[in-house]
Each structure stands twice: as structure tokens, then as C-alpha cells.
Structure 1
Amino acid sequence: MSRLQANSLLLLTAIIWGTTFVVQQVGTGGLQAITFTGTRMLVGGIFILPLAIRQFRRVHGGERRFGRLDWFGIILTGVILFTGATLQQYGIFHTTVTNAGFLTALYVPLVPIISFFLLRRKVHWAVWPGSACCLAGTYIMSGAQGLDLRLGDFWVIASSLFWAFHVIIVGTMAVRTRAPLVVACGQFFVCGLCGLAIGLPVEQPELVFFHNGLFGILYAGLLSTGVGFTLQVVGQRFTHEADAAIILSSETVFAALAGVLFLAERLGAAEFSGAALIFFGIMIVQLLPMVRRRARRLSG
């Protein structure tokens, strides 16, 4: 596979993830946040289960054996995924798709910040101006005259923190186990079981809600969770990680476009400026390290 083909797969992934924000707002069929999250994650886990089993047999039987710490890490990954996805889903119910898309992207600068302060890992200096742009954009985009944020914006911002932790632990577990599909499938099942174990008794959904939300469940479960992750894994085998991060972060743009096309959402001048600042901050974090690395290779 060529690098152009791989980048095209990653772009398709970003489109799927971006448009899923619309489905998560209007396609749940009456299901509330916890139950919908659990159901869609179980669907995604079942979808990639055959691939995960095949990979597990190859790795466990030949490269390295899975131990207790591996399974504990996968369970922890699933719990973090459940928390982030549930907070995001609840926030989407109480804000616009456009806001949800761009505010979720705050995880991009949060990842290196967490790595620097908590894990003591080195980060590129570009993270600081990038983070400042994202914070300023969040303030402007949310209509924050006097910090009057929408309720849903707070939930989405909170979810971005868990998405940041999720990105870190997923990368750690994928490297440790050498089996990213096993990690993905395991976390989906953990997240799904947590969602149904909590959602069914707490939210008490009716059976008709599952029927009414079938399209949303399948779209978010099969496409966003199953296909989206699989395309990401395949694409990142054949392209540079910096290129992949830039392309995948464009899901925020596709979320905004989907909100305009399908929900008649509109960006005012202030909101557009805030969204542009967030996107600019994301690009700073992703582009500057790549430019410097390439400059060093050319000079060397």
C-alpha cells in the first residue's frame, strides 16, 4: 500500500468519526448516554472479534504470552474509554455537534501536557503555544462572555481529559502487547459491559428504544468503532505518525460540516474564530515537531 492510499484510509476514518457526532445526537432512538455507549461499543467489539482472536493466537503463541498485567491494562483501558465516551455522549445531548467536535479535540494538546507533568516525558515546545490557542478557542467558541458555557460543553471538555488518558494508555498497551486489535476488542467489550451493567438498571431503557436507535447503534458501532479503528490501524502501518495525527484530527472539521449539513447548525463570527483557534492549536502541536525533524534530516 502506498503512502497516499494509507492517508486516504485515515481521511476516511476522520470522516466517519466526524459524522458520527450527528448520529450520536439524533440517532439514539431514545436511549440515554450510558446505555447507548455500552450498546455501540459491544457492537464494535463483536465486529472486530474474529480479527482480534486471530491476532491473539499469533502473538500469544509465537511472539509473547499475555500475562495478568496485560489483561489488567486492557480492562483499565476499557474503563477509561467508557468514562470518556459516556461523558462525551451526555455532552452531545446538551450542546451542538459543532461545539462537541471541536471541544473533543482538546485531547490533542492534553496528551503531551499529561505526558510532561505526570509521566515526566519530554514534549516539544510547540505544545505550549498550541495549548494556549486551544484554550482561547474553547473560551471564544463556547460563547463564554462571563464564562457562560453550555452545560454540554462542560461534559465534552471533561471527556477530552479522559480521551487524552485513553490515547496514552492505548499506545502503551499496543506497544506492550504487540496486539493492537486485541487491545481494541478487549476495551470495547469492557466498555460495553460497563455501559449495560450501569445503564440498564439506572436508565431503564425500553426495548422500543433499541429498535428506534438501531441505525445509530449500527453506524456508531460498526463504522465509528469497528471500521474506523481498523482503518486507523491499517493506515498507520504505511504512513508517518505525524501525518496520521494531522489527518485524524480533521474529524473536528467534518463534525462541524456534518452539523451544518444535517442539523442546520451555523457558526457565527465569534464561534468560527474560536473553532479556527482550536484547529490552529492542533496544527501547531502536530506540524512543528514534524517540520523540525525533517529539517534536521535534510541538514544532516
Structure 2
Amino acid sequence: MRPKNAFMLILTAFIWGTAFVAQSVGMDYLGPFTFNGVRSLIGGVALIPCIWLLQKLNDKSEPVTEERNRKDLLIGGISCGVLLFAASSLQQVGIQYTTAGKAGFITAFYIVFVPVLGIFLEKKTGWKVWTAVILALAGLYFLCITERFTIGKGDIFLFACALVFSLHILVIDYFSPKVEGVKMSCIQFLVCGIISLPFMFLLETPRMGAIVDAAWPLLYAGVLSCGVAYTLQIIGQKNVNPAIASLILSLESCFSVLAGWVILGEKLSVRESIGCILMFAAIILAQLPDKKDKEMAKNE
């Protein structure tokens, strides 16, 4: 993996981790569908100026290639938008019935689902990555689980959320080399926001006053967590093993704990410190080059 791709994915995990504060504050004012819908639309709109600027700077594409890319762009963007809506909705519903620690742990199960699903898609995953997955799971357990682990209704929603996020990562892996990442990201947010609208009005009572009160959390979650982070994910995942990408993205759990420690003054327990160390060790292990990679580097 190129250092640039790794940096983008780590930055994505950092933004997602710190965005948990904005999400929790925003939920004090808005229901889950309203919050997800509004922040997704903000994320999509925020990317439109970026697309316009990039189009001006890079306007050299053949008509045939452009037509083919447009089809892949629409299919990829709509697919990602539907999956993002399903995953984020399942997560918000599940959090209402379980603890935050268990929610973080179960949601990050995509680090297991991605390589398992990758087997059926003929994505090769070596022993080193599988070892890193096990190490990361152990780290997540120390980081997130502080009480006796039991399975409840909310946990089932979160397992489903993790599975859908796994599909989201694999869809991005398929389409990201074929299309412009910023455009696909914009489409996925607009699709996610539009799908949220009927659920928002049928199941909740959105009020403009509440949306105004939640303006700062919505802007942070919309512009940074959606517009910036998910776009970085799409660009950073380009030509990267999805199993390794999912491992790096799971660092959001570490960053959320560390952000609470640094920004909010929350105490970092010994158990949580061990979890962070194990997860960082897993990421480093997954990044170590294989013998084949070293030989290829020498030949180059």
C-alpha cells in the first residue's frame, strides 16, 4: 500500500472517531433519520464546489471513456448511498438498545466480515492480514467492552450494520478505481439523504428549530465526517486490499477514545490503553511488506 493511501484512510478513521462527539450531541435535538438525512444532504452539497473546481482543473477525457465512467459513477454512487443509508440507520437504531461500548465493538466487526466476504469474491487475504484481524478484534474488545457480554435486540441491529458496512467497503473497492472519488461520494450522500426523507417525516417529527439548535453538530458531521472523510475513504481505498482498508478504518474506535481523553478530559483506563496498543500493532502488522513485495521493489 502506498503511504498516501494509508494516510488518507487513517485520516478518515480520525475524523470518524472525533465525530462521535458531534453525533451524540446532535441526537439530543434530532431523531436518527432526521440527523442522518440532514447531515448526508449537507455532505453532498458541500462537495459540489469541489467537483466544479476539479472539473475546471482536469478537463481532458475521451467521450467513450467519459460515457462508460458516467454509468459506473451512477451505479457506484447509488449503490453506496443505499448501503450507507441502511448501515447508518441500523447503527442509530441499535445504539438505542445497547451500550456505547458494545455498539463500537460490534460495528467494527466489519474487519472480520470484509475478508470473509472477500473469499467469495476471490480477494486474496494472507495469514498476516488474518493475524492482524484477530489482533484488532482483541484490541477492540479491550477498548469497548467493559461489562459482561450478552446479546440483545440492539446487538442484532448492530451486527446487521457491520455486515452492511462490509458490503459498502467492498462496493467502494470495486468502483473506486473506475470513477472519480469526489463525484461518487457526492452522489452517495445525496442518495442517502433523499432516502432518509420519507422515514424522517413518517417516523419522526422534524422541526426547523431543532435543526437550527443542532447546527454545529450537523455541520461537523455533514462537512467533515460525510463530505471529507467518506471522500477520503473512496480515494484512499483505490487499489488497496479491502481487508487492510477495513483494519485501518477500524482505528476510529481508538481515535474516539483518545479524543475523549485529550479534548473532554475523560480518563483512559489501563484496559483501554491495551486495546489501543493492540489495534495499532494490528495495523502495523498488516502494513509490513511481504517477501514478494520486497522482491518486486528490488526489481523496480
If the TM-score is normalised by the length of the shorter chain, which range does it land in? 0.7 to 0.9
Select between 36-45 and 121-130 the one with higher mean Cα deviation.
Answer: 121-130
Q: 1:19 to 1:155 in 2, by over 3 A?
A: farther
Tell me the CA shift for residue 26 of structure 1.
Answer: 1.8
Could you tell me the percent identity over the aligned residues? Answer: 34
Structure 2 match to 1:106: 109
**Counterparts of 2:125 and 2:236 in 1: how far apart (Å)?**
25
Structure 2 match to 1:214: 215
Tell me the CA shift for residue 126 of structure 1.
Answer: 2.2
Q: Provide, for residues 50-99 of structure 1, a one-character-per-residue CA deviation record: whole Å limited to 9, x for no partner.
A: 33466598658463304656534432221111111222334455533x66
Select between 264-273 and 179-188 the one with higher mean Cα deviation.
Answer: 264-273
Structure 2 match to 1:82: 85
Equivalent position amino acid for 1:225 in 2? C
**Counterparts of 1:233 and 1:120 in 2: how far apart (Å)?**
21
Equivalent position amino acid for 2:205 in 1? Q
- Whether contact under 8 Å (1:249, 1:282) holds in the other structure is no
Residue of 115, 118, 141 corresponding to 2:118: 115
Q: Kindly indicate whether residue 41 of structure 2 is the aligned counterpart of residue 42 of structure 1.
A: yes
Superposed counterparts of 1:132-211, under 5 Å = 132-139=134-141, 141-143=144-146, 145=148, 147-148=149-150, 155-176=157-178, 178-211=179-212
Tell me the CA shift for residue 220 of structure 1.
Answer: 0.6
**Counterparts of 2:151 and 2:264 in 1: how far apart (Å)?**
21
Q: Provide, for residues 104-134 of structure 1, a one-character-per-residue CA deviation record: whole Å limited to 9, x for no partner.
A: 4432343222111x31332222233233334
Match of 2:176, SS state, is helix
- Whether contact under 8 Å (1:142, 1:153) holds in the other structure is no
Q: Kindly indicate whether residue 287 of structure 2 is the aligned counterpart of residue 287 of structure 1.
A: yes
Superposition TM-score, scaled by structure 2 size: 0.77
Structure 1 match to 2:99: 95
**Counterparts of 2:228 and 2:72 in 1: how far apart (Å)?**
28
Match of 2:127, SS state, is coil
Aligned length: 289
Segments of structure 2 that go 5 or more residues without pairing to the other structure are: none
Q: 1:197 to 1:76 in 2, by over 3 A?
A: same
Structure 1 match to 2:17: 18
**Counterparts of 1:99 and 1:130 in 2: how far apart (Å)?**
21
Superposed counterparts of 1:272-283, under 5 Å = 272-274=273-275, 276-283=277-284
Superposition TM-score, scaled by structure 1 size: 0.77
Segments of structure 1 that go 5 or more residues without pairing to the other structure are: none
Select between 38-47 and 118-127 the one with higher mean Cα deviation.
Answer: 118-127
- Whether contact under 8 Å (1:22, 1:262) holds in the other structure is no
- Whether contact under 8 Å (2:16, 2:225) holds in the other structure is yes
**Counterparts of 2:121 and 2:282 in 1: how far apart (Å)?**
22
- Whether contact under 8 Å (1:39, 1:192) holds in the other structure is yes
